[in-house]
Every structure is written in structure tokens, then in C-alpha cells.
Structure 1
Amino acid sequence: MDIELARTFLEVMSAGSFCGAAERLHISQTTVTARVQSLEETVDCQLFIRNRSGARLTVEGERFVAYARNLVQSWECAKAEMKLPRGRESRLRIGAETSLWNPVLTNWVNWLQTNSPSVAVHTDVADAASLLAKLEKGFLDAVIVHRPNYLSGVMIEQLLEEKLVHVQVPNNAKPNLFVDWGAEFRAQYDAALPQPRQAAFTFNLGPLALRVMLSGGGNGYFRTRVVEPYLRSGELERVADSPEFTHPVYLVYRTSNARSELPIALEGLRNIVRDHSEWQV
């Protein structure tokens, strides 16, 4: 499908008329009409109801909006991807889960900036499902996640072993803070602890929960690499007899990737993780 047809469709929808779309696109109203008619012939349905007041979407037109937006957005992304910035010879597209952007992704980008100056770097921070879907479709080269999917043509390696430990503020251990570290953690937590999950405060972002606990007191489960400095300083302490939960980090990348810079970048990431035993938020 011609991308301009989808773009014209969206402009008519936004402007509410063929005339308004023509003004926005700097083309004649006749051209707008021709494009919409061509699009309707292509999808074999009527997309707009025309009247003197303008144009409004039919039921079929409303359903087509999401597809049209995806077409235009994908095309714009493709154009941006194909054009390298001046002084760059190639591009790497890497991603990490929200809880892993700092320090893992941050340190990786810094390493690439120093050691691969001719490589343009695109980063994507999102949930694991979104990252893995983009990896499968070829929109990303490598991602860092806690729970990978086993996909065809994809290599998965454990980047590091991480644990979630129960800590509290000394002499100020309330309230209970529950940090949702994902489905696997919830399953481990519910199996190990007989009491139901009850907390005055719940979070889906560990760094936020830790800041709240350090400033106002409380207890909860956090990553060992993050809380280790606070345990040494006495700002936090381990909760006696509480179970630990595994929370490993995985590197996932496509084996069919032809980018020559990817193996170098992956080795750099492995070295970064090995050399940094503590994390900060």
C-alpha cells in the first residue's frame, strides 16, 4: 500500500474534511479525493461518510485508524533507521527492561561511546514483552531482560545471577513495601510465604520503592547488588529468617544478525557486568 494513502486518510480524519486535509498536505482537494478513493478500493470498503459539513469515519474507517497509524509510523522509523548520522558507519539497537536501565544499560552505552565511536546507538527501555517482540521482528539487535522467551534464531545467555533479599530500616521497619519484580517473583513469593501479600505500599519500580524506604522507613525485597552498600553502612539490615529469591538477568540477541559490531558490543557488556559488582539507583 502507498504510504501517502494512509497518511492522507489520517489527515482527513484529523481535519474532519477533505478540504482541511488538502490544506495541511499542501495538495489539491481533488488529489485528496483521489487518494481516499484509491485507498477505499484497495481495502474494499467505505472509510468516510461525506456531507456538506465535512467527512466522518464509518465503522470500517474507525477500525482502519490503528492500521494506518502503524503503517505511517513504521515507515517513518524505517527512513530514520536507514539514514546514519554524520561520522557514524553503522548502528546498534539495544534495549533493557525498565529495572535494568541503570546501571546496566547506562554503562553499556557509555562503553560503546568510548570503544565504538563510529557506531550510532539506539536504546529502548520498556517491558520485557515489548522488547522481545521488537527483537523477534528485527527492530532491536540485543536486549537485557529478566525473563526471556525462547524464540527461533535467538541466543539466550545468563548475564548475571541476581537475588532479591528482604531488608528493612533498623528500628523503623514499617510499613511493608511490596515491589512487584514480575510474575516469576510473585510465584516464588507466594509459594515460600504462607501469608497473603499485604502491603500498605506497592510498587512496580524498585528504585522508587528503595528511595521511599530509605527516607521514611519500611521493609521489602530488593536486589542484592543495589542494597549491599546500604547494608555495609548500616542504613539497612537483613530481615532474619526471610527467604531469598532468584532474579537472574539474561542477554538475548539474534544469531542471524549480520552486524559485525554486535559481537564486540556484547563482549563489552559481559566485561561491564563482570567488573561492576554493585549497582546504584
Structure 2
Amino acid sequence: MDTDLLKTFLEVSRTRHFGRAAEALYLTQSAVSFRIRQLENQLGVSLFTRHRNNIRLTTAGERLLPYAESLMSTWQAAKKEVAHTTRHNEFSIGASASLWECMLSGWLARLYHQHDGMQFEARIAQRQSLVKQLHERQLDLLITTEAPKMDEFASQLLGSFSLALYCSSPETSKVGLNYLRLEWGPDFQQHESGLLAHDDVPMLTTSSAKIAQRLLPELKGCTWLPVQWAKERTNLYTVTDSPVLSRPLYAIWLQNSDKQNAIKEILRMSVLS
């Protein structure tokens, strides 16, 4: 289907005049008539009734109209999306909500200062979804707490950060506190086992550190938060009888990514500074 034919059909149906349609499309009136005849020949129906200056859509034309509008809208969206993905100064980074909130938002701000002209997309999703997007080339870089498990991925250890168990009251032990699960990856679950009874469940499960922090006093809860992030906030206190845990942080990307140079430049900026 030639989209120019649909565009011409829509303009004639809007103006109900071949001459005005020709002016709007910067065409001659004969070119507009020719395009409409081409479209009618392809469809095997007449689309307009022509009686001097009285031009009306036929029943077939009326039925084609919503499809033509939808097809042109889809075509415009497709052109915009394709052009969007071919801009070499765009770069998409994916991570969990907790990582963006606790350490990556500041890193992204520093990236903007260092890489003038770059356009970043900060994508929030579960790790499994982000790995799939990375594999399908819908994502350029993944920041996560777990090492890659696929050979086609390259990775760089960015460092590590500390997690401690926090609550909203000072000098509180974990006995009697409700556990709020802030997701730090599947392999972190082994560290949570000591906080829950065999048949117990967390009162809250979330991927947002801000939500977990907000609900600590209301739920009389405790949750694992990054130590450095928690120090910058008020009314957060470490649970007295809990350890401090270390978590690694990895950058992961496709080995054959066409943005290797941009990845190397971006990773020069320390995430954990």
C-alpha cells in the first residue's frame, strides 16, 4: 500500500474538493485525481461520487475512512519510533527502582554534566524483564546486583555497597518487628531467611526503597537499606542485632552491542562515588 494514496484520500475526504486537496498537498489537481483513481483501482471500488463541485464519499469510501486514518497514524508512529532508535546520542539504562532511588539517580545527573548532548532513558523494571530487553537490544546497559549468566553478555564489576537492617526507632531489636521485603535480587533471599519464621510472610514486598522507608513507622517494620543512602535521611535507625551485608554492583551489556564506545565512556564515571 502506497501511503501517499491514503494521504491523498484523507485530504480529499476532509476538503471534499480536489483543488483544495491539491493545494494542501502541494500537488496538481490532475495528480490528486490520478492518485485517487490508483487507489480505487487497487480496491476495486469507487471512493467518491463526483457531481461538479459536489464531492461525497461513497459507502465504500466511508468504510475505508477509519482504516485509512488508523493506517496513517500507525505509519507516522512507526517512522517516529524508527528515527528515535537511530539517534546515536541516545542511551538506555535499566535497573530496579531501589537502585535508581538509592544510587543511580545521582550518577545519572553526573553523566549529564559530563556527556553534553547525550539523551538518556532511565528504565525501571524487574531484573528478569531488563535482561530480556537487553538480549533483544531494547536496552543498552543493565545495572544489577547479580553477575550475568549468559555467554553473550559482557560485564564489569562496579564495586560494592553495604546494606543494613533499618527501622524507625532507635535501640530496637528485630524481635517484634514486621519484615518489609525490599527486593535486592533472588540471591539475596538467603540473607532474609533469619528474619522470617518458616510459615511467615513479609508484611510488604516492594522494589521501591522510598515506599519501604515511608511505611516503616506505620507498619512497625524493618527493611534492608543501603547504609550510605540511609545516613542521608532522618528517622532511620539500624536494628541492634543485625549484621551489615555487602552487595556487588555490576554493569551488563551485549558483547556485540553497537554502543561499545559509549558504554566504555559512561562506565568511566563511578557509580558508587
Q: TM-score, normalized by length of structure 2?
A: 0.61
Specify the code of the residue in structure 2 equivalent to 1:242. S
Q: Distance in 2 between matches of 1:103 and 1:194?
A: 25
> Against the structure 1 CA distance between its residues 198 and 164, is the aligned structure 2 distance closer, same or farther, given a 3 Å change threshold?
farther
Structure 1: unaligned runs, 5 residues or longer: 5-17, 33-68, 276-281
Specify the code of the residue in structure 1 equivalent to 2:263. L
- Tell me the equivalent position of 2:237: 237
Q: TM-score, normalized by length of structure 1?
A: 0.60
Structure 2: unaligned runs, 5 residues or longer: 4-59
Report the CA distance between 1:184 and its aligned residue. Answer: 1.9
Q: Secondary structure at the match of 2:105?
A: helix
> Against the structure 1 CA distance between its residues 236 and 197, is the aligned structure 2 distance closer, same or farther, given a 3 Å change threshold?
farther
Report the CA distance between 1:223 and its aligned residue. Answer: 2.2
- Tell me the equivalent position of 2:68: 26
Bigger CA radius of gyration: 2
Specify the code of the residue in structure 1 equivalent to 2:145. H
Identity among equivalent pairs (%): 17
Q: Distance in 2 between matches of 1:20 and 1:245?
A: 67
Report the CA distance between 1:172 and its aligned residue. Answer: 7.3
1:122-150 C-alpha deviation (Å, 9 max, x unpaired): 33211111111111122222111122432
- Tell me the equivalent position of 2:266: 265
Report the CA distance between 1:159 and its aligned residue. Answer: 1.9
Q: Secondary structure at the match of 2:268?
A: helix
Give runs of aligned pairs for residues 14-93 of structure 1, distance below 5 A: 22-26=64-68, 77-82=81-86, 84=87, 90-93=89-92
Q: Distance in 2 between matches of 1:111 and 1:183?
A: 30
Note if contact 2:179-2:203 (Cα within 8 Å) is conserved in structure 1: yes
Q: Secondary structure at the match of 1:109?
A: helix
Give runs of aligned pairs for residues 213-232 of structure 1, distance below 5 A: 213=216, 217-230=220-233
User: How many aligned positions are there?
Assistant: 206
- After TM superposition, the structure 1 stretch with the greater mean CA deviation from structure 2, 210-219 or 252-261, is 210-219
Q: Distance in 1 between matches of 2:186 and 2:209?
A: 15
Q: Is residue 136 of structure 1 aligned with residue 135 of structure 2?
A: yes
- Tell me the equivalent position of 1:51: none
Question: RMSD over aligned Cα, in angstroms?
Answer: 3.5
Note if contact 1:176-1:201 (Cα within 8 Å) is conserved in structure 2: yes
- Tell me the equivalent position of 1:209: 212
1:201-243 C-alpha deviation (Å, 9 max, x unpaired): 313132211122257754333222222345xx6x343323324
Report the CA distance between 1:164 and its aligned residue. Answer: 2.7
Give runs of aligned pairs for residues 149-160 of structure 1, distance below 5 A: 149-160=148-159
